[in-house]
Structure 1
């Protein structure tokens, strides 16, 4: 059963993996490099995930053709979006929130590797309406 505590612990583990990647290779690379490194780091930590998960989109019973893919879907409950940009802009957040809704995920994490310090400025957690229904 997914609880708020479980998600808090999972976020902590994923942030730890991102900090390790950032500490090892630094800022200034392209997103696909960080993606590959996160795959390795999550695997080393025994965290289950799906990479480049194709997101189904349905509209009033019609399954739409879509090439939407989230970077990483972790433990079937956490959408992880990776960035290597100067700043996170509203469309990045909107995309993450849409992925969370479509995957019925209560929580999402945006990690931007193009920062000096991942922990203080490179990561932000987002929740949606599903989160409030979870047990503590």
Structure 2
């Protein structure tokens, strides 16, 4: 039986190898990982409040504001004030932003697909099930 320590080691090495491909793929788009994450969230979820996007892509309020400013200056997003709540701003992709992230995400998805090409459909499903099971258990675990 494999030990928890050995499983953690193998999982960590796999995660690092996948992260290398992931970051390299995003670097090829010409935008940062955080900017890619923001644009990708807008592509798949549609316009969202700035704070909601920050929560989804794990950026602090200050980092999210700086990223939104940067993306707006590049003409990739626009901020639109919520008419019912003047304190809230929604981020929208511009046509340029949509085109850039669509092309970048499609290329990125193809690169990530190459990683899992080694697995059958059944193995992919089993891997997801097991990772979710371990992850959920780890979240709920109380250590002494």
Relative contact order, higher structure (CA 8 A, sep 6+): 1
Give 1 or 2: higher strand fraction.
Answer: 1
* Bucket of the pairwise TM-score, normalised by the shorter protein: 0.3 to 0.5
Task: Give the TM-score, by structure 1 length.
Answer: 0.33
Give 1 or 2: higher helix fraction.
Answer: 2
Task: Give the TM-score, by structure 2 length.
Answer: 0.31
